[in-house]
């Protein structure tokens, strides 16, 4: 049984008030709240095990290294990678995609070669490729979407692949539309043409089980802070054969094997891509967040959040003048909407005064906003601790806001 009361007790911030009203936190696609288990684990490490990893022979350094590398193994298990060498710690999804963009374009692409993204991508999966276009002359092409927010290429991506295509980089779940893209099918079609695929899993890792071997993706990126872990930590998964081919992203301590004035050689995987002191306390926090998600059960989390999403869409559709963006199915954990005649920023500001935290604006997806013909939306996004009663509060709050106008 999904014990929502017990789960909420693990997140003390959910019991606070905002403007004298109980907090309803619906900004989880931006960042999730952190359970006590994660906060306690990180505090304990700072208090008792704080020492730089990999470099010291003393007890604390060895203990901190063990926690750090145990976290890598937890991540490996979480996404079912073959080896821990395929798990690279980054600062988040954004840095993970930038790493691939920089290293892949430098070593695998020539001017005129193409990267394919989609029209629904977050800026973090657009701008890194545009920077490479400016620096190296590559071409960034985008897959169009339908009016209801689905990729038009689901039947045959070959229509959009050319002889110059070198990589497909695609979001698993849209952070605006909630669309769950058929990444397994896209990967299969791309691989039939020897095209590798990067999956942006920032919005799927907190909500559903991931299996990189089953997906057969070449790269996959996600962030800790969107899945109940700390900020500033993320993961890049890469198939070993690809990571071996790519050059380092940054240079400095930890990623070197030997340095001389004549030549530098680099460490083995995964350390080749981890220059400098890692945030070893955050990796421990991420591992604890993974333990937490696993203890609740990702299947249960996914079912709970899909039911919340469905219920929210039902409730908002009872309100005249509300437009919801994105398909009914497959749709997960995000509901973006607008109200006729009221600016999304005004709605978000007034809902905030009622204790309801939602996100407003373009959600770092301005090309998608242009495609939809709007400037922005109100976005309610859900986590494992949200309830139907909170959705009711949102609907009631929205009716109240509309009465003011």
Catalytic residues, by residue number, are 364
Strands 165-171 and 139-143: unpaired
Residue 185: is it exposed, middle or buried by C-beta count within 10 angstroms (0-12/13-18/19+)? middle
- Its sign, for the CA torsion 364, 370, 372, 378, is positive
On whether the CB atoms of residues 176 and 209 are closer than 8 A, the answer is: no
Residue 167 CA to residue 177 CA, distance in Å, equals 24
Alpha helices (H) in 224-360, listed in sequence order:
240-245, 280-296, 298-316, 344-353
On whether the CB atoms of residues 60 and 54 are closer than 8 A, the answer is: no
In what helix (H) or strand (E) does residue 235 lie, and over which residues does it extend? strand 234-238
DSSP 336-394: EEEETTB-HHHHHHHHHHTTEE-EEE-TT-HHHHHHHT-S-EEEEE--TT--HHHHHHH
């Amino acid at each position: 049984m999904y014990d929502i009361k017990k789960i909420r007790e693990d997140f003390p911030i959910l019991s606070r008030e905002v403007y004298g009203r109980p907090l309803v936190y619906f900004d989880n696609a931006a960042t999730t709240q952190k359970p006590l288990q994660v906060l306690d684990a990180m505090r304990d490490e700072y208090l008792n095990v704080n020492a730089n990893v990999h470099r010291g022979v003393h007890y604390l350094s060895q203990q901190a290294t063990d926690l750090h590398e145990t976290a890598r193994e937890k991540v490996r298990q979480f996404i079912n990678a073959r080896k821990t060498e395929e798990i690279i710690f980054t600062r988040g999804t954004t840095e993970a995609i930038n790493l691939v963009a920089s290293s892949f374009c430098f070593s695998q692409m020539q001017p005129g070669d193409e990267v394919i993204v989609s029209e629904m991508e977050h800026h973090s999966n657009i701008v890194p490729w545009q920077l490479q276009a400016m620096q190296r002359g590559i071409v960034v092409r985008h897959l169009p979407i339908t009016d209801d927010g689905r990729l038009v290429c689901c039947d045959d991506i070959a229509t959009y692949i050319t002889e110059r295509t070198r990589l497909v980089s695609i979001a698993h779940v849209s952070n605006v539309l909630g669309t769950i893209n058929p990444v397994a099918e896209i990967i299969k079609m791309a691989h039939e043409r020897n095209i590798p695929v990067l999956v942006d899993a920032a919005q799927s890792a907190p909500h559903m089980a991931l299996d990189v071997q089953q997906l057969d993706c070449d790269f996959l990126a996600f962030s800790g802070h969107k899945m109940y872990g700390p900020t500033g930590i993320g993961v890049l998964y890469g198939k070993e054969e690809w990571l071996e081919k790519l050059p380092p992203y940054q240079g400095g301590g930890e990623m070197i094997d030997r340095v001389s004035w004549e030549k530098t050689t680099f460490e083995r995987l995964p350390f080749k891509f981890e220059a400098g002191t890692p945030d070893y306390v955050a990796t421990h926090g991420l591992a604890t967040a993974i333990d937490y998600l696993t203890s609740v059960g990702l299947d249960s989390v996914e079912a709970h959040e899909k039911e919340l999403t469905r219920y929210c869409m039902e409730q908002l559709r009872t309100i005249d003048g509300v437009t919801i963006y994105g398909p009914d199915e497959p749709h997960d954990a995000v509901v973006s909407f607008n109200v006729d005649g009221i600016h999304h920023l005004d709605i978000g500001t007034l809902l905030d005064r009622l204790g309801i935290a939602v996100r407003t604006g373009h959600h770092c997806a301005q090309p998608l906003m242009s495609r939809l013909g709007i400037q922005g939306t109100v976005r309610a996004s859900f986590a494992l601790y949200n309830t139907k009663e909170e959705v009711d509060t949102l609907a009631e709050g929205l009716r109240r806001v509309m009465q003011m106008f």
